[in-house]
Amino acid sequence: MVIQQSFLLDLHKENRVIRGEVRVPQSLKVSPTIIICHGFKAFKDWGFFPTVAQRIAEAGFSVITFNFSMNGIGDQPEEFSELELFAHQTFTRQQEDLSFLLTQLKNKKLPYPEALDSTRIGLLGHSRGGGDSLIFALDSPDIEAVAVWNSIHRPDFFAKETIQTIYDQGGATIVNARTHQELPIDREVLDDIEQHRERYDFLKRLPQLQIPLLLVQGDQDHPGFFEGAKTMAQAAPHASLHVVKGATHTMGAVHPFAGTTPQLEEAIQETIHFFKNIW
């Protein structure tokens, strides 16, 4: 059995808050903590994330899911209502979010502090959240393992046409395929990458990653992702690559969640096995 509780953290800057949930085994036994990072145009309640968190908690881990503070989701858990924040969703701000969340974890300010082990921490990131996880793991000695699903392999992951529009016009919009909502991207997002190029070029830094890394990669992902995963697996000294045959960028899952898929099940089981081998 798994129990869960929501939390809200105020960063006291730029109207930023982190909304999240903690799921732990009902026994409240102290367990390794897995922090799940969603991707671009995603959120903690998107599609498979609640199910993935539940399954990992059922396997004996404490699990934290959260919304990055500027992911555009406000009080309504599945609506992009904070577009001005979304437009300025930089890697720097997301790294600040992770650092703040880790501090709250270590200071026992999150739900079920008796169950959350702050000495055994792993990250699980999907898509852009994979990049966020890798950057944070490279910078933070508190992280002992990282798993990424269909991760980006470079920080400027936008389409070339989008990048050009941002530079030419100071910003661009992308369409949310599910809601047809136009989501803005400010030039600050690209400027932030340029200003911190050495830090955020995580592919170049991966040879320095001295902790276990699991890359779970679908062979039917967006163009370039499969090749990127293979390159990252070769770059990191303690990496393993698991290819999920027939898996799309979201492992065949959709939002609203319509149930699991064989590809999602494979990704979940491989990830649980990875973390169990560490702790």
Q: What is the DSSP letter of 212?
A: -
In what helix (H) or strand (E) does residue 21 lie, and over which residues does it extend? strand 17-25
Residue ranges in the chain whose pLDDT is less than 70: none
Q: What is the DSSP letter of 209?
A: -
* Contact residues for 11 (Cβ-Cβ < 8 A; gap 6+): 17, 18, 69, 96, 97, 100
For residue 177, what pLDDT is reported?
A: 81
CB 37 within 8 A of CB 8: no
Adjacent-strand bridge partners of 20 = 7, 66
CA count, 13 A, side-chain hemisphere, 172: 15
Crossing angle for the helix pair 262-278 and 49-58, nearest 10 degrees?
Answer: 40
Radius of gyration of the chain (CA): 18
pTM score, whole prediction? 0.98
Write the pLDDT tens digit of every residue in 172-209: 999 988 888 999 999 999 999 999 999 999 999 999 99
Q: Can you name the CATH fold of 2-156+203-278? A: Rossmann fold (3.40.50)
Label the pairing between strands 17-25 and 62-66: antiparallel
Q: Could you tell me the two tokens for 250?
A: 């979201």
For residue 125, what pLDDT is reported?
A: 99
Crossing angle for the helix pair 187-195 and 91-106, nearest 10 degrees?
Answer: 70
